Copies of this chain bind each other. A is one copy, B any other.
């Protein structure tokens, strides 16, 4: 079976790293890697070849792949090249282009995207969102610390005492928690807020302080937060405002699946912030938690640097690719039986949930 890996045109990461490729080739699979796929992640073609892969041009890859890995979905035109019945596995693509659906159906492709992976315990080994959120959380603090015109830790030096920076983390999901941990490591005073009540314990388990907003309409059933009531939003806004005004760094990670991200830092809050403060908005790609956030840009407003960097994970391509690769390999193992052949068990809720197109059995 030919397992193929595409190079990402706009992303320094690569879907599989040589270490994983080696496992696959050892297991008897043929692995094709697009030439230069790993370059931006410091993984040379030679390294892939050493791991037993062949490197090929993009079109060859597309034409021959039986299982095709990529992070973002290729264009519908490229998919046209695929052989009938091929299996596509995308790491992060939402696959919201109806054209892709159409092409896939037409060509009898079976497609999965881990973007839709359920957030269950069993699925965690393939949870790319978690892996990447974790990197983003870690890097958000590094970026903030590098941009902040101040020290993070408390320092008592001959030239006086430098008080520790105050870091406020809004949204304590995977990224938020990692940000808390990293900021604490660097010696900052960390506070965090999330609408989900369960996160209080999680925040405190990392030694940070949880910011209380009196009352919350919480929904625990899914891992994702839903939108909040008006009254609550107002109370929340006020509480956060006071904490924002004291913060040196604000890291926002609040997202509501499938919707625009909630605004947590509004104009009033921005005006209350100290000049020199830094906001890192991890929700930038879905509109941002801060009113002034621009995706992929750093905006300076009123002396406050607002970093709308939604590609934080991509900018740590080596470990990011490593994690992606491991997640995807775990997913692949769900699709393969003991004999090393594709065998799709549609009973499995993970396959069910991640599949965006399925070869009609009648077709």
Contacts and interface: CB of A to CB of B under 8 A. Distances in A.
B160 A322 contact: yes
A248 to B, nearest CB: 9
Interface in A142-193: 142-143, 145-146, 148-151, 153, 155, 157-160, 162, 182, 185-187
Contact of A326 (B138, B160, B275): B160
A274 B159 CA distance: 39
A118 B320 CA distance: 47
B149 A146 contact: no
A303 B317 CA distance: 13
A28 to B, nearest CB: 22
Contacts of A160: 322-323, 326
A134 to B, nearest CB: 7
Interface residues of A, number: 48
Interface of A: 12, 41-42, 44, 124-125, 127, 130-131, 134-135, 138-139, 142-143, 145-146, 148-151, 153, 155, 157-160, 162, 182, 185-187, 274-276, 303, 315-320, 322-324, 326-327, 330
The residue in A182, A318, A320, A327 that gathers the most chain B C-beta atoms within 10 A of its C-beta is A318
A146 B148 contact: no
A316 B276 CA distance: 10
A150 B323 contact: no
A318 B276 contact: yes
Given A42-B276, A146-B143, A326 B130 contact: no
Given A149-B41, A149-B42, A319-B151, A326 B143 contact: no
Nearest to A178: B155
Contact of A318 (B149, B186, B319): B149
A145, A149, A182, A320 pick with most chain B CB within 10 angstroms: A149
Contacts of A276: 41-42, 318
A164 to B, nearest CB: 11
B323 A42 contact: no
Contact of A319 (B12, B150, B182): B150
Given A151-B316, A276-B318, A158 B125 contact: yes
A143 B145 CA distance: 9
A317 B275 CA distance: 12
Given A149-B317, A150-B319, A162-B322, A157 B139 contact: no
Contacts of A139: 146
23 contacts: A42-B303, A127-B158, A130-B157, A131-B158, A131-B159, A134-B157, A142-B142, A142-B146, A143-B146, A149-B315, A149-B316, A149-B319, A149-B320, A150-B318, A150-B319, A153-B185, A159-B323, A159-B324, A160-B323, A162-B319, A162-B322, A185-B187, A276-B318
